[in-house]
Structure 1
Amino acid sequence: MFTKLFIALQNATPVPKDIPLPLPLPEWLLVSILVISFLVHILFVNLMVGGSLLTLWSQIKGLKNKEYDVLAHEIAATITVNKSIAVVMGIAPLLSINVLYTIYFYSANALTGLMWIAVIPLVTVAFLLTYLHKYTWKLLENNKAVHISILAVAVVIFLFIPFIFLTNINLMLFPEKWALVKGFFSAMTLPNVFPRYFHFIFASLSITGLFLHWYMGRKNYPFETIFPSFTRYELKKKGYSLALVASVIQFLIGPLVLLTLPSKGLGWNLILIIFTGAAIALPAMWMMWKGIQGDESTIDKDFKKVLVLMTITVLFMGSGRQVYRSNALEKHRELVKLKTAEFQQIKKEAITKSKQAEAEANTAELSAADKGKAVFNQYCTACHKVDAKLVGPPVLEMAKIYKDNIADLQKWIKKPGKKRPDYPQMPGFESQLNQEQLDQLGEYILTIK
């Protein structure tokens, strides 16, 4: 069945061979590490992106209301911390996806090319800008336009980097499009990129809203000494409101994300996971609404429950992403296994033929030497040793006398004369040896050193 499928699709879909190495860990464990570590990583990415957006909004609003400028300063202090944790926490999912989906990840990297490589310098510039913004707050107090512009550039970069990642990860799922994609801007037009991107942005704002609610409500946070006008209740309510509005928008975008997913990865397992996660989020959103509508004494009543429910929802959504990836690539991975097996068989046969040819060449060389030695052993060893006088002179002496002169050596063997009075007359071998044997014997004698 796979063979027919391969033949049918190989002309339309690139099917590279895989590296035939075993996974370093069981696949289920690598998948678990990928899902969990990615969710931890994306949490801090959300806080970094959402925090940057909220800081920029607050600082612009702070041009007229000083209290918002103070809020911007407090949120900005968290951005550099969250971005550092996001980078560190990104190592595990990056390595895991490299191991589990090597050819898909690197194929997508290659196709997005320069833009994928640009992630590193972009991240570097954005991080440096956030530090510059953080540590020039007082220095640029009287030049807010420049200070805000520094953050604005960092925010634009922070918004663009996830877009590169989403485009790249999305491209992994479409090997049938690899032959058609002409770089990053071509890949970004594939289905699901923009819906997923906007879903990610509002997820960042939702998580940042919950973070703001918690951050401003900490008991050890000297709120009253920092904010002259705002109350804890006001800012916690603003955090809840941001989280709720962003969550509702996510809820509305969710069906669009699902509908733009190519059907090849959809299945009842995915539908069940997505709808279960969405259902768990509904009571959390209701609790946020009640907290916003209530008074100061009830604002924190259900906060822990909200966090637990939203965490479970995120786990379901993260698991759903992995399920879709697995479903979408299942058939193609079967083709890759077939291609890899075929390549390994061809490689094995080529190596076997190469070894056989080498062995035959070596055998041919050894046979020529062995044949000359065999002729010598049969006709010459009664009178000659290699390095000592026996009846006749040693072979080493013959090799020295007839060096590079096999023709005269052969003439002597066929019709020898008598040169030395202390040696007996050597019999001739013209009738015993044919020309091939003479060639072999002569070659053997002249190769002895």
Structure 2
Amino acid sequence: MNNSLLIALQSGSIPVPKDIPLPLPLPEWLLIILLVISFLAHIIFVNLMLGGSLLTLWTEIKGLKDKEYDILALEIAKTTTVNKSIAVVLGVAPLLSINVLYTVYFYSANALTGLVWIAVIPLVTIAFLLTYLHKYTWKTLENNKAVHISILALAVVIFLFIPFIFLTNINLMLFPEKWAMVKGFMDALLLPNVFPRYFHFIFASLSVTGLFLFWYMSRKNYPFETIFNRLTRYDIQRKGYSLALVASIAQFLIGPLVLLTLPSKGMGWNLILVILTGAAMALPAMWMMWKALSGAQENMSRNFYKIALLLTVTVLFMGSGRQIYRANSLKQHQELVKIKTAAFQEIKKQAIAKSKTAQTNEANGALSKADKGKKVFNQYCAACHKPTEKLVGPPVTEMQSIYKDNVAGLKNWIRKPGKKRPDYAQMPAFPQIADSDLNDLTTYLLTLNK
């Protein structure tokens, strides 16, 4: 075992909770595959939801001067609400998977960010309702564009804030050594890597949305010519590729910063290899987008599916890299947790054995009279009496001074007590105590501390 682990465990410098000693519902490797794939499926539609909302806002503002862009904004808005609903449904699987695989870490991060994490539910609800309100009041508020745009702008602000919460929590769960220093969401937000990952995510959303816009408007069954008057499919295709290319380049520029701000404890050659392979897959896709933008109009759609496939493979590699970093960074702490859990299990095992031994001894009459009396005292008397101090009733020492030579009197008092002094509450009667237990109790009371 690594000496640094033992030092950390003994010094208490790293919070080390016990794990839940329950078997996983599926093999760990299968749960990891489910986590990676379901998360990537979910995040693609989250990208489309956020990117679509941003693009709708921009095109509707531009549509104040050019009606064609207002029409484009409405067409994009129709897809955003659908993508939003799919994103929510697909978010269940990765949330459950990460809870099962990393229960201690995910729960701890959620607890440390407190109310802000809980606020995700009302924030998402409000943002969703705003997008529906924006979509279905397009005609109603046609002559009041300031209000209509403000509805979407508020939804976009909320959509932009929610990823901060998720990224902060996912980031915090990877660094148990920071848990003792984090005093809330703002502390966790300022940890390294949150902001670089956030901006990388924003540009990923715009890149995915650009490709989606290209595909959606290029479909043969999409009645483009009956919807738009001046804009052409080629115009929209150029805009989609341009957005995807610029956003992808921005991701390439931010990517090294994301890696450099990650603590080194999670780094490894396996991670570097996966990340570089994913990045290498994106380069020819970006080159093909550039060639399409700078080439002949009739060749615009030629390599779309190759581009989409290459970028999908890139996303798979990047998602796998995320899991590799998670596994690397938590490996040592998980070993600490195993030590703590094993120690707890051993203490539990010993306590159960001791309890069984005590029960066996009691059944065999091995308990002393005083031990039996203490048991009766704890059951009936300890709530009101302490050995040497006044509680509700007088201390045991006072009973000893009154009844030291009068065992029968003590028994009668316990059976049928009266009220001697106004400064003490009336003692209830205990006729239910068996004679044998009463004998043990009085012996215990009169011999306690002697």
TM range (shorter): 0.7 to 0.9
AA in 2 matched with 1:77: K
Q: Is 1:89 aligned with 2:83? A: no
Distance in 2, Cα, partners of 1:82 & 1:159: 16
What pairs up with 1:76-225 in 2 under 5 angstroms? 76-225=77-226
AA in 1 matched with 2:311: M
Q: Is 1:255 aligned with 2:223? A: no
Per the alignment, residue 241 of structure 2 pairs with: 240
Offset of residue 295 of structure 1 = 2.2
What pairs up with 1:233-312 in 2 under 5 angstroms? 233-312=234-313
Offset of residue 356 of structure 1 = 1.2
AA in 1 matched with 2:338: K
Offset of residue 352 of structure 1 = 1.1
Offset of residue 2 of structure 1 = 5.0
Distance in 1, Cα, partners of 2:351 & 2:7: 23
Q: Is the 8 A contact 2:361 2:367 kept in 1?
A: no
Distance in 2, Cα, partners of 1:8 & 1:197: 31
Offset of residue 3 of structure 1 = 7.2
Q: Is the 8 A contact 1:199 1:250 kept in 2?
A: yes
Q: Is 1:57 aligned with 2:45? A: no
Offset of residue 5 of structure 1 = 2.1
Offset of residue 363 of structure 1 = 1.9
Q: Deviations over 1:14-37 (max 9, x none)?
A: 000000111111111000000000
Q: Is the 8 A contact 1:13 1:176 kept in 2?
A: yes
Offset of residue 367 of structure 1 = 12
Per the alignment, residue 6 of structure 1 pairs with: 6
Distance in 2, Cα, partners of 1:195 & 1:2: 32
Determine helix, strand or coil for the equivalent of 1:20: coil
Determine helix, strand or coil for the equivalent of 1:25: coil
List gaps (5 residues or longer) in structure 1: 369-406, 408-438, 444-449
Distance in 1, Cα, partners of 2:3 & 2:19: 17
Q: Is the 8 A contact 1:38 1:93 kept in 2?
A: yes
Determine helix, strand or coil for the equivalent of 2:365: helix
Distance in 2, Cα, partners of 1:314 & 1:116: 26
Distance in 1, Cα, partners of 2:12 & 2:44: 41
Q: Is the 8 A contact 2:8 2:14 kept in 1?
A: no
Offset of residue 343 of structure 1 = 0.4
Q: Is the 8 A contact 1:264 1:328 kept in 2?
A: yes
User: Does the C-alpha gap of structure 1 residues 367 and 353 become closer, same or farther in structure 2, counting only changes over 3 Å?
Assistant: closer
User: Does the C-alpha gap of structure 1 residues 182 and 268 become closer, same or farther in structure 2, counting only changes over 3 Å?
Assistant: same
**Identity over aligned residues, as a percent?**
76
AA in 2 matched with 1:5: L
Offset of residue 7 of structure 1 = 3.5
AA in 2 matched with 1:71: L
AA in 2 matched with 1:83: K
Q: Deviations over 1:128-158 (max 9, x none)?
A: 0000000000000000000000000000011
Determine helix, strand or coil for the equivalent of 1:364: coil
Offset of residue 261 of structure 1 = 0.5
TM-score if structure 2 supplies the norm length? 0.81
Offset of residue 177 of structure 1 = 0.2
Q: Report the count of equivalent residues.
A: 372
Determine helix, strand or coil for the equivalent of 1:287: helix
AA in 1 matched with 2:238: K
Q: Is the 8 A contact 1:2 1:338 kept in 2?
A: no
AA in 2 matched with 1:8: A
Per the alignment, residue 442 of structure 2 pairs with: none
TM-score if structure 1 supplies the norm length? 0.81
AA in 2 matched with 1:251: F
Per the alignment, residue 341 of structure 2 pairs with: 340
Distance in 2, Cα, partners of 1:4 & 1:167: 27
Q: Deviations over 1:25-50 (max 9, x none)?
A: 11110000000000000000000000
AA in 2 matched with 1:6: L
Q: Deviations over 1:246-275 (max 9, x none)?
A: 000000000000100100000000000001
Distance in 2, Cα, partners of 1:295 & 1:128: 43
Per the alignment, residue 327 of structure 1 pairs with: 328
Q: Is the 8 A contact 1:48 1:83 kept in 2?
A: yes
Determine helix, strand or coil for the equivalent of 1:13: coil
Q: Deviations over 1:398-434 (max 9, x none)?
A: xxxxxxxxx9xxxxxxxxxxxxxxxxxxxxxxxxxxx
Q: Is the 8 A contact 1:2 1:335 kept in 2?
A: no
Distance in 2, Cα, partners of 1:6 & 1:361: 41
Offset of residue 92 of structure 1 = 0.6
Determine helix, strand or coil for the equivalent of 2:364: helix
Q: Is the 8 A contact 1:14 1:178 kept in 2?
A: yes
Offset of residue 178 of structure 1 = 0.1
AA in 2 matched with 1:308: L
Q: CA RMSD in A?
A: 1.8
Q: Is the 8 A contact 2:15 2:179 kept in 1?
A: yes
Per the alignment, residue 392 of structure 2 pairs with: none
Q: Is 1:46 aligned with 2:47? A: yes
AA in 1 matched with 2:275: I
Offset of residue 365 of structure 1 = 8.2
Offset of residue 4 of structure 1 = 6.4
Distance in 1, Cα, partners of 2:4 & 2:322: 30
Q: Is the 8 A contact 2:134 2:151 kept in 1?
A: yes
Q: Deviations over 1:85-104 (max 9, x none)?
A: 00000011011101110000
Distance in 1, Cα, partners of 2:100 & 2:258: 27
Q: Is the 8 A contact 1:206 1:246 kept in 2?
A: yes
Per the alignment, residue 360 of structure 2 pairs with: 359
Determine helix, strand or coil for the equivalent of 1:320: helix
AA in 1 matched with 2:364: T
Per the alignment, residue 429 of structure 1 pairs with: none
Offset of residue 361 of structure 1 = 1.5
AA in 1 matched with 2:146: A
